[in-house]
Amino acid sequence: MDTKNSPVISYGPESQMRSPLKLILLMLKDLKSSRELAWRLFVRDVSARYRQSVLGIFWAFLPPIVTGLIFIILQSKKVINLGETDVPYPVFVLLGTTIWQVFVDSINAPIRCTTSAKPLLAKINFPREALIVCAFYDVVFNLLIKIVILIGIFLYFKVQVTFGLLYLPIALLMLIILGMAIGLFLTPIGTLYKDIGTGITIILRLWFFVTPVVYPAIKTFPYSLLSTWNPVSPILVGTRDLATRGVLSNFEPFVIVSCVSIFGLFFAWVIFKLTLPIIIERMSA
């Protein structure tokens, strides 16, 4: 992996003493120069992930489909009553679980890409932003696979196509930004301690049930607080509404969470940039 021509300045402790403006300029410069390396890391990670897998790329389909089918069966057999939905429940739940899986992938991707690059971090001086871009490539790759599910849902259930689909990429991008902001913030400590990865898995399972993924958003107090104070709810609900109804019914919460997510991603990026040299020193000790 050739890094001789990479415009890297320094990633040692002295880089942490730069002024905020110089740090931001350095981050943007490194982000621009890291795209090619990020692509190579992404291709390597994807190849390694599916090389020895029997089902291969189908693992990206299974989680949302299996989860959705479980709730569809439970709802149809009257085992549970999850309320009335504006669209057929199978459409509602399969879209919800697919969108939720995009969020889960966005949280896990930064930690996964950084962990797989541990040997390189200790030996080669390269723009660390390559790991962030690699994580983004990974999430988009999985999203493109899941689009096949969305197309299948629209065709099978004959969902009406509206102009709202034109805004769907923006909503999905906001969901990815929110997930990556959380994942990137946890990456420095998650790289050192495997407990973080296990904890994220447990938290995401609990988070799933307090998010209107398989049921409509609850509007009665105090249960409505689950949606009001749940940052992923406005984006997930808004994304599903755009896909099925062509309107954004929760415009204000959607915009607020989106703006906070963008700021949060930048803040997490700064934390990642400043703490990674310390993490590398600890890994090399």
Mean pLDDT over each residue of the chain, to the nearest integer: 82
Instruction: Please tell me the predicted confidence (pLDDT) of residue 3.
Output: 44
Beta carbons of 231 and 103 less than 8 angstroms apart: no
Average pLDDT, integer, range 89-113: 91
Within the chain, strands assigned E span none
* Least confident span in 76-85, 179-188, 245-254: 76-85
| Backbone phi and psi for residue 240, each to the nearest 5 degrees, phi listed first | -65, -40
Give the C-alpha distances (Å, rounded to integers) separating 152 from 86, 217, 244: 19, 25, 14
The answer to whether residue 81 scores a pLDDT higher than 80 is no
The answer to whether residue 251 scores a pLDDT higher than 80 is yes
The answer to whether residue 155 scores a pLDDT higher than 70 is yes
Beta carbons of 112 and 87 less than 8 angstroms apart: no
Instruction: Please tell me the predicted confidence (pLDDT) of residue 284.
Output: 62
> Above pLDDT 70, what percent of the chain?
89
The answer to whether residue 102 scores a pLDDT higher than 90 is yes
Beta carbons of 214 and 72 less than 8 angstroms apart: no
Q: How far apart are CA 60 and CA 145, in angstroms?
A: 7
The answer to whether residue 165 scores a pLDDT higher than 50 is yes
**Contact partners, residue 162, CB within 8 Å, separation at least 6:** 245, 246
Q: How far apart are CA 281 and CA 31, in angstroms?
A: 22
Average pLDDT, integer, range 66-70: 85
Give the pLDDT band (50/70/90) at residue 157: confident
Instruction: Please tell me the predicted confidence (pLDDT) of residue 170.
Output: 93
Average pLDDT, integer, range 62-89: 81
Beta carbons of 178 and 257 less than 8 angstroms apart: yes
Instruction: Please tell me the predicted confidence (pLDDT) of residue 285.
Output: 58
For the stretch 190-202, pLDDT in tens is 887 777 888 898 9
The answer to whether residue 54 scores a pLDDT higher than 80 is no
The answer to whether residue 65 scores a pLDDT higher than 60 is yes
Owner of token pair 């897998």: 53
Instruction: Please tell me the predicted confidence (pLDDT) of residue 44.
Output: 85
Three-class secondary structure of residue 128 per DSSP: coil
Average pLDDT, integer, range 53-62: 66
DSSP secondary structure letter of residue 118: H
Q: How far apart are CA 63 and CA 57, in angstroms?
A: 12
Residue (of 37, 93, 87, 45) closest to 69 by Cα position: 93
Average pLDDT, integer, range 212-235: 82
Neighbours of 117 (CB within 10 A): 20
151 exposed, middle or buried (CB, 10 Å; 0-12, 13-18, 19+)? Answer: exposed
Q: How far apart are CA 38 and CA 55, in angstroms?
A: 26
